[in-house]
Amino acid sequence: ERVRDLQPVENAAAVHIRPLAGGSTGLGFVRPDQPNPEGGVPWASWRLVSSGYFETLGVPLLRGRDFTDDDLNFAGDGALPTIVSERIAELLWPGEDPLGRIMTLWAGQTGRPGEIIGVAGDMLERGIDQGPTFAVYLPYFGPGWPPELVVHTAGDATALVPALRNILSEMDPNIPLSDIATMEDMVGRSVGSARFITVLVSVFAGLALILALAGVYGVQSYSVAQQTSEIGVRVAMGAGKRQILKRVILQAMRPAVLGVVVGLAGAFALSRFMTTLLFQVEASDPVTYAGVAGLLVVAALVSAWLPALRAARVDPVIAFRAE
């Protein structure tokens, strides 16, 4: 409550594991009238949250309501007030209203009923690379779960840290305020290893492209040098510079285009091994394939242009003299 009163804080809430921080122990969930679903009991990430959690993160409550103080002080043996992600609602009650329904929550061998009071939008609880997961949200109760404070501010989030430290110190100087991070930091952590691998692969791919261009240029230069007398004859017989230029470039582009086609086929076959490094991009994304193929073709064209230009400037007299 004291953090919510700070300026420019818009909202604040508590959760026992912040978003994108990885998973928690799995929690099984089933409908009581379908205790043994086909394929086994599904598992969800679960979070203990306070009221205002979804509003703080900007996650929409698609149906129902948020937790109240009464929910947070729940101490009965009945059904726990429960908010579920949209994916769970669609799985258990497709085309139906889940509000007021009862689901069984399994932790180990122990099952407990939960009453659906709300449906929240899907979140990336386990990380960006994991995609949206099944998620169950329960009211924050009991002192056994160290809380993490989630704060939504309209200004610079890091400027708020001293005020947070002061509030916490006044409440209890023995409680540490640690591992402070913005959501941008959390996103960076989530994709850190994938980003490093991607940068590394990109560097090696760039080096491979440079070597390939050097190879195309070297082969074409050698080929033009070997055909000097032939090109001289063609020029003497009336071939124009444009014709010579076209002929040499076509000679260079045939193997380059063939290489691109073979490379695209190989990339398509092996792309499934790269799916863990992709986010919101399909392994067979046509725009990516078209862009890479176009880049390679243009690169080969540029590397063949200089030898072709040199061939178009061959003096037939000099060519015959060399012969």
pLDDT for residue 196: 86
Is the pLDDT at 279 greater than 80? The verdict is: no
Q: What is the mean pLDDT of the chain?
A: 82
- pLDDT mean over 47-76: 87
Q: Which residues are 107's β-sheet partners?
A: 110
| Burial of residue 39 (number of CB atoms within 10 Å: 0-12, 13-18, 19+) | exposed
Instruction: Let me know: does 129 contact 138? Beta carbons within 8 Å.
Output: no
CA atoms in the 13 A half-sphere facing the CB of 57: 24
pLDDT for residue 115: 92
Among residues of the chain, what percentage have pLDDT more than 90?
18
95-130 pLDDT per residue, tens: 899 999 999 888 766 778 899 999 999 887 776 666
For residues 212 and 299, give the distance between their C-alpha atoms in angstroms, rounded to a whole number. 9
Residue 296's nearest CA partner among 202, 201, 212 is: 212
Single-letter code of the amino acid located at 95: G
Segments in 39-118 forming alpha helices (H):
53-57, 69-72, 86-92
For residues 21 and 19, give the distance between their C-alpha atoms in angstroms, rounded to a whole number. 5
For residues 16 and 89, give the distance between their C-alpha atoms in angstroms, rounded to a whole number. 23
Mean pLDDT comparison of 79-83, 222-226, 296-300, highest-scoring range: 79-83
Is the pLDDT at 277 greater than 70? The verdict is: no
pLDDT for residue 313: 72
CB atoms within 10 A of CB 168: 17
- Whole-structure pTM value: 0.66
Tokens of 182: 């913005």
Cα pseudo-dihedral 256, 261, 266, 272, rounded to 10: 120
**What letter would DSSP give residue 78?**
S
Least confident of 51-55, 210-214, 275-279: 275-279
143-183 pLDDT per residue, tens: 677 788 899 998 888 888 899 889 989 988 888 888 888 88
pLDDT for residue 19: 81
Least confident of 65-74, 220-229, 245-254, 281-290: 220-229
For residues 166 and 219, give the distance between their C-alpha atoms in angstroms, rounded to a whole number. 70
pLDDT for residue 270: 79
For residues 91 and 208, give the distance between their C-alpha atoms in angstroms, rounded to a whole number. 47
Residue 136 sits at the vertex; the CA angle it makes with 90 and 27, to the nearest 5 degrees, is: 105
